Chains A and B, each alone.
Chain A
Amino acid sequence: MGSRSDIGSILMADIGSAGTKLGLIDLVDGRYRFVASGRAPTTSQASLGDVSLGIREACRQIEAVTGRQILDDGGVMCPESPDGTGIDLFGVTASCQSALRVLAFGMMDVASLQTALARVNDATAQIIGTVSLQKASPKDEGLLGRILDDLGRYQPDVLLLVDGADNENRTLISELAHVLSALPAPSDGRRMPVVYSGGSASAAVLSELLRGKYDFHPTESIRGDDTAEEQRALERKLASLWVDRVATSVPGFSLVQSWVQMPTLSAAQAQMYVTRFLARNYECTVWCVDVGAATTSVLVATRDSFAPVVREGLGVGQGAVSLLPMAESIERWLPVHVTAPAIRDLMMNKRVRPWLLPQSSADLYFETALARAAVQSALGNQPEETGTIRPVLLGGLVVGSGATLAQSPTDGMAALAVLDALEPAGIASLAVDRHSIFPQMGALGVSFPAVATQVLVADGLYRLGTYVAPEGVAGQGDRAVTVAVERSGGIAVEVDVPFGAVHVIPLSGREEAQLRVSPHKRLDVGGGPGQAVSLKIRGGSLGVVVDARGRPIQVPSQPRDRWAKFTQWRDAVGG
Chain B
Amino acid sequence: MVVTVERSLTGQISLPSARIIRRAALQRARRLPWIRELTVRSGDKVSPDDILGWQQVPARPVAVQVGLQLRCEPHEAPAYMIKQIGERVRANEPIAEKKGLLGLARKVCCSPVDGVVTYGPGASGEVLIAPDGRRKNLVSHLHGRVVTASEKEGCVIETTGGCVQGVAGLGVEVHGPLRVLAETRKDEISPTAIGPDCAGAVIAGGHIGREALTRAASQGVLGIVVGSITADLYWEAARMADCPTMVIIDGFGRMGMAEPAFQALVALKGEVAAVFPGTEAGHAGVPEVIVTVPWERGADHAEELGLELGAAVRILSGPYFGVIGIVVRAHSESIRLESGLVVPTLEVELSDGSRVTLPAANVELVG
Cβ-closest chain A residue relative to B121:
A144
The CA-CA distance from A347 to B133 in the complex, in Å, is: 39
Chain B residues 62-103 with CB under 8 Å of chain A are 62-63, 65, 67-68, 73-75
Can you list 14 A-B contacts with CB-CB less than 8 angstroms, sorted by A residue number? A54-B14, A139-B74, A141-B65, A141-B124, A143-B124, A144-B124, A145-B63, A179-B63, A181-B118, A182-B130, A183-B61, A341-B232, A355-B16, A410-B340
The CA-CA distance from A43 to B307 in the complex, in Å, is: 15
Chain B residues close to A by CB (< 8 Å): 11-18, 33-34, 58-63, 65, 67-68, 73-75, 118-120, 122-126, 128, 130, 133, 165, 167-168, 230-232, 234-235, 251-253, 281, 285-286, 316-318, 336-344, 358-359, 361-362, 364
The CA-CA distance from A413 to B341 in the complex, in Å, is: 11
Chain A, interface size: which category?
A: 35 or more
- Extra A-B contacts (4), CB below 8 Å, given A47-B17, A53-B14, A346-B253: A57-B13, A142-B126, A182-B118, A356-B317
Task: Please determine whether A171 and B125 come into contact, CB atoms closer than 8 angstroms.
Answer: no
Say yes or no: is A572 at the interface (Cβ < 8 Å to chain B): no
Known contacts A139-B74, A359-B358; is A364 also within 8 Å of B122 by CB? no
Chain A residues 352-373 with CB under 8 Å of chain B are 352-353, 355-361, 363-364
Say yes or no: is A46 at the interface (Cβ < 8 Å to chain B): yes
Cβ-closest chain A residue relative to B75:
A139
The listed residue (A54, A179, A341) touching B128 by CB distance below 8 A is: A179
Known contacts A46-B286, A175-B124; is A408 also within 8 Å of B340 by CB? yes
Say yes or no: is A30 at the interface (Cβ < 8 Å to chain B): no
The CA-CA distance from A349 to B168 in the complex, in Å, is: 10
The CA-CA distance from A44 to B150 in the complex, in Å, is: 28
Task: Please determine whether A361 and B339 come into contact, CB atoms closer than 8 angstroms.
Answer: yes
Task: Please determine whether A352 and B251 come into contact, CB atoms closer than 8 angstroms.
Answer: yes
Say yes or no: is A493 at the interface (Cβ < 8 Å to chain B): no
Inter-chain contacts of B318 with A (CB < 8 A)? 359-360, 363
Cβ-closest chain A residue relative to B165:
A47
1/0 contact trace for A136-171 toward B, CB 8 Å?
Answer: 011111111100100110000000000000000001
1/0 contact trace for A184-199 toward B, CB 8 Å?
Answer: 1101110000000000
Task: Please determine whether A48 and B16 come into contact, CB atoms closer than 8 angstroms.
Answer: yes
The CA-CA distance from A43 to B336 in the complex, in Å, is: 23
Task: Please determine whether A60 and B12 come into contact, CB atoms closer than 8 angstroms.
Answer: yes
Inter-chain contacts of B167 with A (CB < 8 A)? 352-353
Shortest Cβ gap from A447 to chain B (Å): 29
Task: Please determine whether B63 and A356 come into contact, CB atoms closer than 8 angstroms.
Answer: no
Task: Please determine whether A348 and B252 come into contact, CB atoms closer than 8 angstroms.
Answer: yes
Say yes or no: is A74 at the interface (Cβ < 8 Å to chain B): no
Inter-chain contacts of B165 with A (CB < 8 A)? 47
Task: Please determine whether B67 and A324 come into contact, CB atoms closer than 8 angstroms.
Answer: no
Inter-chain contacts of B73 with A (CB < 8 A)? 139
Say yes or no: is A21 at the interface (Cβ < 8 Å to chain B): no
Task: Please determine whether A356 and B362 come into contact, CB atoms closer than 8 angstroms.
Answer: yes
Inter-chain contacts of B232 with A (CB < 8 A)? 341, 344
Inter-chain contacts of A41 with B (CB < 8 A)? 14, 16, 361
Say yes or no: is A283 at the interface (Cβ < 8 Å to chain B): no
Known contacts A178-B119, A344-B232; is A141 also within 8 Å of B16 by CB? no
Inter-chain contacts of B61 with A (CB < 8 A)? 148, 179, 182-183
Shortest Cβ gap from B93 to chain A (Å): 19
Cβ-closest chain B residue relative to A367:
B339
Chain A residues 306-354 with CB under 8 Å of chain B are 324, 341-342, 344-349, 352-353
Chain A residues close to B by CB (< 8 Å): 40-41, 43, 45-48, 53-54, 56-57, 60-61, 137-145, 148, 151-152, 171, 174-175, 178-179, 181-185, 187-189, 324, 341-342, 344-349, 352-353, 355-361, 363-364, 407-410, 413
Inter-chain contacts of B13 with A (CB < 8 A)? 40, 57
Inter-chain contacts of A61 with B (CB < 8 A)? 344
Cβ-closest chain A residue relative to B334:
A61
Task: Please determine whether A148 and B60 come into contact, CB atoms closer than 8 angstroms.
Answer: yes
Shortest Cβ gap from B251 to chain A (Å): 5
The listed residue (B128, B133, B343, B362) touching A178 by CB distance below 8 A is: B128
Task: Please determine whether B74 and A357 come into contact, CB atoms closer than 8 angstroms.
Answer: no
The CA-CA distance from A353 to B34 in the complex, in Å, is: 32
Inter-chain contacts of B359 with A (CB < 8 A)? 356-357, 359
Inter-chain contacts of A349 with B (CB < 8 A)? 251-253
Inter-chain contacts of B168 with A (CB < 8 A)? 348, 352
Cβ-closest chain A residue relative to B56:
A184
The listed residue (B14, B33, B123, B316) touching A171 by CB distance below 8 A is: B123
Inter-chain contacts of A187 with B (CB < 8 A)? 33-34, 281
A54, A138, A174 — most chain B CB neighbours (10 Å) = A138
Known contacts A188-B33, A359-B337; is A178 also within 8 Å of B14 by CB? no
B16, B17, B232 — most chain A CB neighbours (10 Å) = B16
Inter-chain contacts of B338 with A (CB < 8 A)? 359-361
Task: Please determine whether A141 and B74 come into contact, CB atoms closer than 8 angstroms.
Answer: yes
Cβ-closest chain A residue relative to B305:
A47
Known contacts A141-B126, A357-B361, A359-B362; is A348 also within 8 Å of B67 by CB? no
Cβ-closest chain A residue relative to B60:
A152
Inter-chain contacts of B128 with A (CB < 8 A)? 144, 178-179, 182
The 5 closest A-B pairs by CB, nearest first: A409-B340, A184-B58, A138-B123, A187-B33, A145-B63
The CA-CA distance from A47 to B314 in the complex, in Å, is: 14
The listed residue (A142, A410, A413) touching B63 by CB distance below 8 A is: A142
Inter-chain contacts of A40 with B (CB < 8 A)? 13-14
Inter-chain contacts of A413 with B (CB < 8 A)? 340
A45, A182, A344, A360 — most chain B CB neighbours (10 Å) = A182
Known contacts A171-B123, A188-B33, A345-B252; is A183 also within 8 Å of B67 by CB? no
Inter-chain contacts of B123 with A (CB < 8 A)? 138-139, 171, 174-175
The listed residue (B67, B285, B361) touching A46 by CB distance below 8 A is: B285
Known contacts A183-B61, A349-B251, A353-B167; is A341 also within 8 Å of B343 by CB? no
Task: Please determine whether A57 and B126 come into contact, CB atoms closer than 8 angstroms.
Answer: no
Shortest Cβ gap from B312 to chain A (Å): 14
Task: Please determine whether A141 and B67 come into contact, CB atoms closer than 8 angstroms.
Answer: yes
Shortest Cβ gap from B366 to chain A (Å): 10
Inter-chain contacts of B252 with A (CB < 8 A)? 344-346, 348-349, 352
Inter-chain contacts of B253 with A (CB < 8 A)? 342, 345-346, 349
Inter-chain contacts of A178 with B (CB < 8 A)? 119-120, 122, 128
The CA-CA distance from A348 to B235 in the complex, in Å, is: 10
Known contacts A141-B74, A408-B340; is A348 also within 8 Å of B231 by CB? yes
